[in-house]
C-alpha cells in the first residue's frame, strides 16, 4: 500500500473521533470540519517526511484545534470584533482536551456527532447524506453518485441540512445515562437507514449499492466499539453483517433479483456470517432482547440453512411473532406471513395479510407477496392484478423485472398445452 493510500485510510478511520472532539471544542460543525480539513492537509505534507505519528487521531486533533484557533484569531482581527469571550472559553477546555483522548472519552464525541446528523426535522435522505458527509467523510460527489442525483443538488441538500442542525440545540455536556440511551437509539436507527438505502435502493437503477452497506457496517462497528456492552448495538451490527453477507448472490449477471430460496449460498460471505453469529451469541447472554437482535436472529436462521429447503421456517415464524409483540407493524406481519405460508400453507398466509391491504396499499412488497400467494393457490387472474399493482409501485427496474417474470410465468401457464 502506497504512503498516500495508507494516509488516506488513516484519515478516514480517525475522522469520526477527531471531528467529534473538534465539534465539542469549537461547538460548530463548520469550524470543526474546516479544522479537520486543515489537519488532513498538514498530515499529507508532514507524515511522508517525518513518518506517521504514534497516535494519528490525537495528532490530527491537536493540529486541527490549533489551526482552528489561529483561524478564529485571524478572523477576529480582520473583522475587529472582540472574540475574547470565545477564545477564553476555548482556553478553559484546553487542559481538559489532552486528558480526553482515550477511547472511553471519544465515545460521547462520536455519539454526539452522529446524533447531530439524525435530527428529527431532517428527512431520512438528508440524515443519511449528512452522516456520510460529516462522519464518514465521503465527498459530495460520492454521495451524489450513491443517491444518483446531480452534485449541485446534493451539495444544496447537505448545506440545507447543515444549517438546519446548526440551529438545533444539541447540548455539549457529557450526556446522562438516559440521554445517552436515547441518542444511541436514534443513531442506531439512522445507521439502519444508511444500510437500507444501500440494501434495497429507494430509487435509481441500481438495486444494491454496496458502498452504502459497507459504510453502514463501518459505522455500526464504530458504535459497538464505543458501546461494547449494548446488546441492541450488537444486534444491529449482526443484522447488517448477515444481510450484507448475501450481496454477491442477490443479483444475477443481468442485475435481476434472485430471491433468497434461489440464491447460490456458496456465494454468501462466510466471514461476515460468522461474525454476525458471534455477535448474536454475545448479545443473547445479556437477556435483554430487542428489535435489532430479533431481526438479526431471523437473518441468522437463513444464514445457518445450507439450502433453502432446510430453512427452519417455524423458528422464523416464532421470531417474527416476538418482533410483532415488541414492535407491532404491518410490515413485520407481512414478513411473518412468508414464514406462515411455508409452515401452514398459502391460504393461511393470505388470510393473515388481507387486513394489511389498507395500511400497505402503497407498498410494493405487499402486492408482490399477495400475487405470489394467489398464484400458489391457482387464482391466476387475481394474482395478475396484484402483480400489476406491484409493478406500478416498484422502486427500481430490478424490482419491476422480478415481478414481470412471475407474470410471464402466469401467462405461459395459462396457455393451453
Partner 1 sequence: MLYAFLCCHDEAIPNSWTKAEDEAVLTKRAKVTDKLAARGKLGPAVRLMPRTAATTVRMGRDPVVLDGPFAETKEALLGFYLIDCDSLEEAIDIAKDIGREEKVVFEIRPVKLYLPQGKAS
Closest separation in Å from C-beta 139 to partner 1: 16
Closest separation in Å from C-beta 10 to partner 1: 6
CA distance 194 to 127: 9
Indicate the residue among 98 and 228 with the shorter CB distance to partner 1.
Answer: 228
Give how far Cα 139 sits from Cα of 14, 134, 237, 258, 287, Å: 16, 9, 25, 32, 41
Closest separation in Å from C-beta 300 to partner 1: 14
H-assigned helices in 100-230: 103-117, 124-134, 140-147, 151-167, 177-199, 210-226
Residues that bind partner 1 (CB under 8 A): 1-2, 6, 9-10, 12-14, 52, 55-56, 102-104, 214, 218, 221-222, 224-225, 228-229, 234, 237, 274-275, 278-279, 282, 285
Give how far Cα 42 sits from Cα of 47, 52, 194, Å: 8, 12, 31
Indicate the residue among 285 and 415 with the shorter CB distance to partner 1.
Answer: 285
Closest separation in Å from C-beta 391 to partner 1: 34
CA distance 111 to 186: 10
CA distance 409 to 417: 14
Using only the alpha carbons of the chain, give its radius of gyration: 25
Closest separation in Å from C-beta 304 to partner 1: 17
Indicate the residue among 9 and 267 with the shorter CB distance to partner 1.
Answer: 9
Closest separation in Å from C-beta 345 to partner 1: 39
Residues with Cβ < 8 Å from 226, sequence gap 6 or more?
103, 106, 107, 110, 111
Indicate the residue among 97 and 337 with the shorter CB distance to partner 1.
Answer: 97
CA distance 13 to 35: 17
Handedness of CA 264, 269, 273, 276 (dihedral sign): negative
Indicate the residue among 107 and 370 with the shorter CB distance to partner 1.
Answer: 107
Closest separation in Å from C-beta 248 to partner 1: 10
Indicate the residue among 1 and 310 with the shorter CB distance to partner 1.
Answer: 1
Give how far Cα 315 sits from Cα of 237, 238, 272, 339, Å: 21, 18, 22, 9
Indicate the residue among 278 and 392 with the shorter CB distance to partner 1.
Answer: 278
Residues in the chain: 417
Closest separation in Å from C-beta 1 to partner 1: 6
Indicate the residue among 161 and 238 with the shorter CB distance to partner 1.
Answer: 238
Give how far Cα 101 sits from Cα of 88, 106, 214, 289, Å: 21, 7, 27, 33
Amino acid at each position: 500500500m502506497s504512503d498516500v493510500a495508507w494516509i488516506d485510510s488513516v484519515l478516514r478511520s480517525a475522522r469520526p473521533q477527531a471531528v467529534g472532539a473538534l465539534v465539542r471544542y469549537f461547538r460548530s460543525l463548520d469550524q470543526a470540519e474546516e479544522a479537520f480539513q486543515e489537519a488532513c492537509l498538514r498530515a499529507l505534507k508532514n507524515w511522508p517526511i517525518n513518518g506517521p505519528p504514534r497516535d494519528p487521531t490525537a495528532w490530527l486533533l491537536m493540529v486541527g484545534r490549533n489551526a482552528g484557533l489561529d483561524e478564529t484569531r485571524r478572523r477576529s482581527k480582520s473583522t475587529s470584533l472582540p472574540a475574547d469571550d470565545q477564545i477564553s472559553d476555548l482556553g478553559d477546555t484546553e487542559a481538559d482536551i489532552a486528558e480526553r483522548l482515550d477511547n472511553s472519552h471519544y465515545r460521547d464525541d462520536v455519539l454526539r456527532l452522529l446524533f447531530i446528523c439524525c435530527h428529527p426535522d431532517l428527512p431520512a435522505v438528508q440524515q443519511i447524506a449528512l452522516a456520510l458527509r460529516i462522519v464518514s467523510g465521503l465527498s459530495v460527489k460520492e454521495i451524489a453518485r450513491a443517491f444518483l442525483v446531480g452534485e449541485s443538488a446534493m451539495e444544496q441538500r447537505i448545506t440545507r441540512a447543515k444549517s438546519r442542525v446548526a440551529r438545533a440545540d444539541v447540548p455539549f455536556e457529557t450526556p446522562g445515562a438516559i440521554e445517552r440511551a436515547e441518542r444511541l437509539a436514534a443513531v442506531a436507527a439512522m445507521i439502519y437507514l444508511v444500510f437500507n438505502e444501500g440494501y434495497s435502493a429507494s430509487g435509481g437503477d441500481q438495486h444494491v449499492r454496496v458502498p452504502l452497506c459497507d459504510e453502514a457496517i463501518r459505522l455500526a462497528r464504530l458504535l459497538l466499539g464505543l458501546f461494547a456492552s449494548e446488546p441492541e448495538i450488537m444486534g444491529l451490527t449482526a443484522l447488517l453483517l448477515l444481510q450484507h453477507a448475501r450481496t454477491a448472490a442477490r443479483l444475477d449477471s443481468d442485475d435481476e433479483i434472485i430471491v433468497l430460496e434461489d440464491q447460490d449460498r456458496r456465494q454468501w460471505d462466510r466471514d461476515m456470517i460468522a461474525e454476525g453469529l458471534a455477535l448474536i451469541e454475545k448479545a443473547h447472554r445479556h437477556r435483554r432482547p430487542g428489535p435489532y437482535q430479533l431481526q438479526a436472529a431471523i437473518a441468522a436462521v437463513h444464514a445457518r440453512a445450507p439450502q433453502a429447503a432446510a430453512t427452519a421456517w417455524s423458528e422464523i415464524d416464532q421470531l417474527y411473532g416476538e418482533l410483532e409483540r415488541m414492535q407491532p407493524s404491518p410490515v413485520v406481519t407481512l414478513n411473518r406471513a412468508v414464514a406462515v405460508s411455508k409452515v401452514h400453507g398459502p391460504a393461511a398466509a393470505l388470510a393473515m395479510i388481507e387486513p394489511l391491504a389498507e395500511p400497505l396499499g402503497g407498498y410494493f412488497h405487499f402486492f408482490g407477496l399477495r400475487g405470489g400467494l394467489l398464484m400458489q393457490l391457482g387464482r391466476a387472474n387475481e394474482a395478475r392484478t396484484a402483480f400489476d399493482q406491484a409493478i406500478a409501485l416498484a422502486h427500481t427496474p430490478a424490482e419491476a423485472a422480478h415481478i414481470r417474470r412471475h407474470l410471464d410465468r402466469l401467462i405461459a401457464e395459462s396457455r393451453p398445452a
